[in-house]
């Protein structure tokens, strides 16, 4: 698809209109915003030039004054006529992204801009894109009127085509009703017996249907003698709850039982057992757990220190006892002699 860099159109005037540029810029802005192209920037540095920056296009409006210029303008269904022009207003649409711009949509947008300008301004001729001839204002606007007329005719034809499709349905329904009435009015032959109608399916009443069918119950009068209203064996409404005073009294008794001091607590067997279990659980929770490695190391140290303690205790007892001191000397001397003999230091 060939990409077009610019889309141009021009409007010719038979007079010089100094307000053509300002009024035309307003019409162009309204048309662009109507078709979803909001104007982001409006530049009017030159008295004869206005630039509009949109999201997808840059629009330029240039107003020119020139001497009387005879122009051949073509009318619809007639030969061209000579129209003297004194000024012109050029409209140029430049896509910001030509590679991603649809040509047909851009041409349609330019056509709608020129149509709005031709309707709002005193325009004599219209130049459209690169068409080699000039159109008169009536011929240019007549194209849009013909398009709208064709669209309306197509819509009417579609509606007329859809109406016969629905008409046979009514005919079929009427035929079915006539057949049923004929069958019901026809006499029965002796061989035929009327067929019993099929039993109707039992209607299951849903809770929603029951709620919609049954009227709302009337409010029951509140008893004055303290009796509670009962419906179908069940309490209803506020009767389901105890009075506020009774509830407050029960809560106060419960809190008093929970906050009573140790001196006023029950001292029965079950109470003591429960108290002991609670203390045991609290102690187990509060006591930090001992690691298995520390317990094993402590046990090993106790076992290693047992022989040393036993020897030290025995020696202490022997040395401090006066009755065993002489026997201890004899045992020690005999042990020393045996040691010397075994080492060949003394011979007997």
Q: What is the pLDDT of residues 174-199, one digit of tens each?
A: 666 666 565 555 554 444 444 555 55
Which residues sit opposite 144 in a β-bridge?
A: none
Contact between 121 and 17 (Cβ < 8 Å): yes
Distance CA 136, CA 139 (A): 5
The dihedral through the CA atoms of 252, 257, 262, 263 has a sign that is positive
Amino acid 231: pLDDT: 54
Q: What is the pLDDT of residue 106?
A: 92
Q: What is the pLDDT of residues 131-158, one digit of tens each?
A: 888 999 999 998 888 777 776 666 666 6
Pick the closest to residue 68 from 14, 24, 149 (CA basis).
14
Q: How many helices and strands (H and E) does the chain possess?
A: 8, 9
| pLDDT tens column, 225-250 | 455 555 556 666 666 677 888 888 88
Kind plus residue range of the DSSP H or E element containing 82:
strand 81-95
User: Contact 116/44 with Cβ under 8 angstroms?
Assistant: no
Write out the two tokens for 282.
């609290």
Contact between 111 and 140 under an 8 Å Cβ cutoff? The reply is: no
Task: Determine the Cα–Cα distance for residues 311 and 306; give it in Å rounded to an integer.
Answer: 9
Q: Give the model's pLDDT for residue 264.
A: 53
Residue 8 CB: number of other CB atoms within 10 A?
Answer: 16
Residue 211 pLDDT: 47
Q: Tell me if the pTM is above 0.75.
A: no
Which pLDDT value is given to residue 235? 65
What residues contact residue 56 under an 8 Å CB cut-off, 6+ apart? Answer: 37, 95, 96, 97, 101
pLDDT at 1: 44
The rounded distance, in Å, linking the Cα atoms of 272 and 279 is 10
* Axis crossing angle, helix 103-120 with helix 137-185, rounded to the nearest 10: 110
Given this model, what pLDDT does residue 336 score?
83
What residues of the chain score a pLDDT lower than 50? 1, 166-167, 169, 188-194, 204, 206-208, 211-212, 221, 223-225
Residue 49: per-residue pLDDT: 95
């Amino acid at each position: 698809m060939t990409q077009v860099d610019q889309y141009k159109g021009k409007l010719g005037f038979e007079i010089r209109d100094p307000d053509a540029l300002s009024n035309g810029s307003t019409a162009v802005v309204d048309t662009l915003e109507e078709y979803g192209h909001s104007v982001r920037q409006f530049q009017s540095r030159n008295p004869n030039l206005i630039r509009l920056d949109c999201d997808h296009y840059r629009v330029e409006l240039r107003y020119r004054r020139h001497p009387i210029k005879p122009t051949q303008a073509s009318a619809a269904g007639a030969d061209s006529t000579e129209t003297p022009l004194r000024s012109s207003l050029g409209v140029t649409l430049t896509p910001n992204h030509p590679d991603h711009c649809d040509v047909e949509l851009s041409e349609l947008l330019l056509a709608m801009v020129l149509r709005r300008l031709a309707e709002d301004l005193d325009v004599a001729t219209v130049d459209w894109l690169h068409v080699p001839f000039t159109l008169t204002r009536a011929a240019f606007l007549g194209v849009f009127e013909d398009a709208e007329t064709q669209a309306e005719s197509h819509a009417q034809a579609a509606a007329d085509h859809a109406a016969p499709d629905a008409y046979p349905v009514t005919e079929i329904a009427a035929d079915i009703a006539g057949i049923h009435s004929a069958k019901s009015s026809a006499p029965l032959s002796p061989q035929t017996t009327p067929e019993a109608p099929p039993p109707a399916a039992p209607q299951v009443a849903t809770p929603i249907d029951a709620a919609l069918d049954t009227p709302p119950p009337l409010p029951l009068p509140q008893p004055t003698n303290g009796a509670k209203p009962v419906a179908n064996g069940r309490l209803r409404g506020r009767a389901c709850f105890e009075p506020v005073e009774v509830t407050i009294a029960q809560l106060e008794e419960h809190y008093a039982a929970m906050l009573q001091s140790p001196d006023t607590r029950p001292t029965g067997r079950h109470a003591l057992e429960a108290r002991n279990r609670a203390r045991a659980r609290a102690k187990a929770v509060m006591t930090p757990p001992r690691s298995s490695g520390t317990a094993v190391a402590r046990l090993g140290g106790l076992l290693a220190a047992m022989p040393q303690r036993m020897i030290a205790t025995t020696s202490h007892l022997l040395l401090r006892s006066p009755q065993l001191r002489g026997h201890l000397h004899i045992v020690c001397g005999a042990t020393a002699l045996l040691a010397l003999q075994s080492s060949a230091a003394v011979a007997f």
